[in-house]
Amino acid sequence: FLVQRHRIIDRLVNRAKPEQLIELGAGLSPRALAFADRGKPAMDVDLPDMVELKRRRLGPHGPPSYRALAVDLIEAKDYRQALEPYLQQVAPTVVISEGFMAYFPVPVQQEIFDRIAALLRSLGGGRYLADIHHQEDVDALGPMGQTFRTALAAVSRNRQRRLIDNAEAGRRMIASAGFDSLTIHHPSSFRDELGLPELERDSGLVIYEATIS
């Protein structure tokens, strides 16, 4: 599902045709660097140690429109303020969090949704893309789902195992955050388009695409 989520998010970014890209909890993802190669502003956001590692590996070779910024996305209450002065007032902006949200308890996920919606609205609109596993889908996987939850708890800073309950709960959270709409994408819809492999068992992965008009 790691390959699926990455390629699906890339395809949705291309469809959105953003003028600015922001990746939260970016790790060593090359996505923002590739986007900045087109001459448009792109930003990777992560904790200081990861940002320093990425800067060292990149050296002086980053595109002029690329920035790597150290921000604690839990402590930061206002993402617009936290990402200054590198934000550009352009729309549409696409914000991505890949492999990030499930590490936090659901109330913290709601706070992050709230802050991303406010950020996008302040920039004039755009889209938010995130990979999500719903609790009911993971539960339906049986032992495989239990393994996923155990691994997630082992690396989570809060040992929180509970995920967003289901699609209905996710839609309520996204609406509460102030987004105008939410599309929930399933990997099966992209299998032929992207040549994704047929999996023996579905991982329960979905991709949220939330919009601010």
The pLDDT score that the predictor gives to residue 141 is 82
CA-to-CA distance for 116 and 111, rounded, in angstroms? 9
Task: Fill in the amino acid letter for 62.
Answer: G
Least confident of 1-10, 134-143, 196-205: 196-205
Average pLDDT, the chain: 90
Beta strands in the chain, from DSSP E residues, in sequence order: 20-24, 42-46, 66-70, 93-97, 126-133, 181-185, 205-212
For residues 55, 60, 64, 69, the Cα torsion angle rounded to the nearest 10 degrees is: 10
Q: Kindly state the tokens that stand for 57.
A: 């590996």
Q: Kindly state the tokens that stand for 89.
A: 């007032």
What is the 8-class DSSP label of residue 19?
A: S
Span between the terminal Cα atoms of the chain, in Å: 30
pLDDT tens digit sequence for 61-73: 889 999 999 999 9
Q: Are 189 and 197 spatial neighbours (Cβ–Cβ below 8 Å)?
A: no
Look up the pTM and report it. Answer: 0.91
Q: Are 98 and 9 spatial neighbours (Cβ–Cβ below 8 Å)?
A: yes
Query: What angle in degrees, to the nearest 10, is found between the helix axes of 106-122 and 167-177?
Result: 40
Q: Residue 161: is its pLDDT beyond 80?
A: no
pLDDT tens digit sequence for 7-25: 999 999 999 999 999 999 9
pLDDT-based confidence at 57, cuts 50/70/90? very high
